[in-house]
Structure 1
Amino acid sequence: MKLMIAQTNPVWAEPTTNLEALESLCRLAVEAKVDLLALPELAFTGYNIFERLDALAEAIDGSIVTAVASLADKYGLYVLFGLAERRPNGELSNAAILIDDHGQHIATYDKRYLWDREHQFFTAGKESCVVDTRFGKLGLMICYDNEFPEVARELAQAGAQIILSPTANMLPNAERQVLQIRTRAIDNQCFVACINRSGVEESLHYCGNSIVAGPDGEVLGRLGLAPGTVIVDIDLARIDESRTHQDYLKDLRIFDGADL
């Protein structure tokens, strides 16, 4: 699979403007024969929108998902992006949405580990998400989920070969983010990609440094602070190679009181 990470700096609270910019990214991805284009957390609204959520949160069949689905179908791309989703019961979730190359919505993941002010506005998700695609099993997590090893481990145990995490992480966390993503990859001997954003929203300075790590923790692609893209070829055979000498998931033991 050929993966493109788009580390964007969206215009705050202007989804129409940000969606217009998506088409040029789609063209770039097609020229590079990319299979999946991945964007950050809350990709088309900006992250620091808590006081604007009533206006900016959308249902899964709203204008943002509809527009992305149309472009995914037009360009024959899988597209992953973050969305402030309004659920049918009125609750809000910080979601990751996956659209396939025919414009079909095939997965929604609701962020399970909420950070800071998110607790006041979003309802935490309860379920992990692994989706089978023609280029492998994809697991989804979002931003603060990266910092809890249990999330990636649960996805790997459910068969995820590639874990993708739309993110809006801030300074001074760039190197910690890189270390955590590499660790999640090596611990689970799978591919892990963090799709972070750039720019500034009021007091929030985003740290960029989006990264794709391989099954042995190797850095396959990494960006700096500025907006940009990176394309990585993902060879799933690397997973079996990594597990030849030690297979952490197979050898994992769960201890209880009787083992102590």
Structure 2
Amino acid sequence: MRLMIAQTNPLWAEPAANLKALESLCRLAAEAKVDLLALPELAFTGYNIFERLDSLAEPADGLIVTEVAKLADKYNLHLLFGFAEQGADGEFSNSALLLDDNGQHLGTYHKRHLWGRESEFFVAGKQSCVVDTRFGKLGLMICYDNEFPEVARELAQAGAEIILSPTANMLPNAERQVLQIRARAMDNQCFVACINRSGVEETLHYCGNSIVAGPDGEVLGRLGLAAGTLIVDIDLACIDESRTHQDYLKDLRVLKDNHAFNGANS
């Protein structure tokens, strides 16, 4: 699979303008024969929109998803992006949505680990998301989920070969982010891609450094602080090659009783 990461610097609270800018990215991806174009967390509104959710959040069949689906179909691209979703019950979710190259919905993931003020506005997701595609099984997580090894492990145990994480991570966390993504990939012997954003929103300075890591934790591609794109070719055969040396998922032993310790004090 040929993956393009778009590390964007979206205009704050301007979804129409950000959607318009997406077409040039799609055109660039199509010219490069990309299979999947991935964008950051809350890609079309900006991240720091908590007090504006009533006007900026949309249902899964709203304008943002509809327009992105048209571009997916037009340019024959799978598209992944984060958006603020308003459910039928009126509650808000920090979501990531995957479309196929006909613009059809493949899966939606609701962020489970809410960071900082997010928990005041968003409802935490309750389910993981692994989608079977012709490129392999894709698992989804979002930003703060990266920092919990259990999330990537759950996705890998469900068969995910490539884990994609739309992100809006901030300075001074660039190297921390890179380390976490490499560790999530190595621990689960799969591919992990973090699609972060760049730019500034008031006091929030985003750290960029989007990265794709391979099954042995190797860096396959990495961006810097500024907005830009990154194309990485992913070969799933590398997963089997990694697991011939040691297979962590197969060899993992989980204690059924967390209180079953050995030692003098047990």
TM-score band, normalised by shorter chain: over 0.9
Q: Secondary structure at the match of 2:245?
A: coil
Q: Which residue of 1 aligns with 2:211?
A: 211
Q: Which residue of 2 aligns with 1:197?
A: 197
Give TM-score, length-normalised by structure 2: 0.97
Q: Which residue of 2 aligns with 1:171?
A: 171
4+ aligned runs moved over 6 Å, structure 1: none
Q: Which residue of 1 aligns with 2:236?
A: 236
Letter in 1 for 2:77: L
Identical counterparts, % of pairs: 82
Q: Which residue of 2 aligns with 1:29?
A: 29
Q: Which residue of 2 aligns with 1:120?
A: 120
Q: Secondary structure at the match of 2:176?
A: helix
Q: Secondary structure at the match of 1:177?
A: helix
Q: Which residue of 1 aligns with 2:88?
A: 88
Q: Which residue of 1 aligns with 2:102?
A: 102
Q: For residues 81 and 123 of structure 1, what CA distance do their matches in structure 2 show?
A: 19
- 1:59 partnered with 2:63: no
Letter in 1 for 2:129: C
Deviation string for 1:70-101 (max 9, x for gaps)?
A: 00000000000001000111110000000100
**Alignment of structure 1 residues 128-207 onto 2, 5 Å:** 128-207=128-207
Query: How big is the shift at 1:259?
Result: 6.3
Query: How big is the shift at 1:245?
Result: 1.0
- 1:222 partnered with 2:222: yes
Name stretches of at least 5 consecutive residues in structure 2 with no aligned partner: none
Name stretches of at least 5 consecutive residues in structure 1 with no aligned partner: none
Q: For residues 105 and 202 of structure 1, what CA distance do their matches in structure 2 show?
A: 34
> Are the structure 2 counterparts of residues 251 and 217 from structure 1 closer, same or farther at C-alpha, using a change threshold of 3 Å?
same
Q: Which residue of 2 aligns with 1:252?
A: 252
Q: For residues 121 and 7 of structure 1, what CA distance do their matches in structure 2 show?
A: 25
Q: For residues 29 and 57 of structure 1, what CA distance do their matches in structure 2 show?
A: 27
Q: For residues 247 and 208 of structure 1, what CA distance do their matches in structure 2 show?
A: 32
Q: Which residue of 1 aligns with 2:75?
A: 75
Query: How big is the shift at 1:138?
Result: 0.1
Q: For residues 86 and 182 of structure 1, what CA distance do their matches in structure 2 show?
A: 33
Q: Which residue of 1 aligns with 2:9?
A: 9
Q: For residues 6 and 141 of structure 1, what CA distance do their matches in structure 2 show?
A: 17
Q: Secondary structure at the match of 2:109?
A: strand
Q: For residues 225 and 258 of structure 1, what CA distance do their matches in structure 2 show?
A: 46
Q: Secondary structure at the match of 2:107?
A: strand
Q: Secondary structure at the match of 2:94?
A: strand
Q: For residues 89 and 245 of structure 2, what CA distance do their matches in structure 1 show?
A: 49
Query: How big is the shift at 1:258?
Result: 4.3
Give TM-score, length-normalised by structure 1: 0.99
Q: For residues 89 and 107 of structure 1, what CA distance do their matches in structure 2 show?
A: 19
Letter in 2 for 1:159: G
The count of aligned residue pairs is: 260
Query: How big is the shift at 1:106?
Result: 1.1
Letter in 2 for 1:74: K
Deviation string for 1:43-96 (max 9, x for gaps)?
A: 000000011110000000000000000000000000000010001111100000
Q: For residues 182 and 80 of structure 1, what CA distance do their matches in structure 2 show?
A: 21
Query: How big is the shift at 1:240?
Result: 0.2
Q: For residues 61 and 187 of structure 2, what CA distance do their matches in structure 1 show?
A: 37
Letter in 1 for 2:194: C
Query: How big is the shift at 1:105?
Result: 1.1
Q: For residues 249 and 138 of structure 2, what CA distance do their matches in structure 1 show?
A: 17
Letter in 1 for 2:107: A
Letter in 1 for 2:176: R
Deviation string for 1:19-55 (max 9, x for gaps)?
A: 0000000000001000000000000000000111100
Structure whose CA Rg is larger: 2
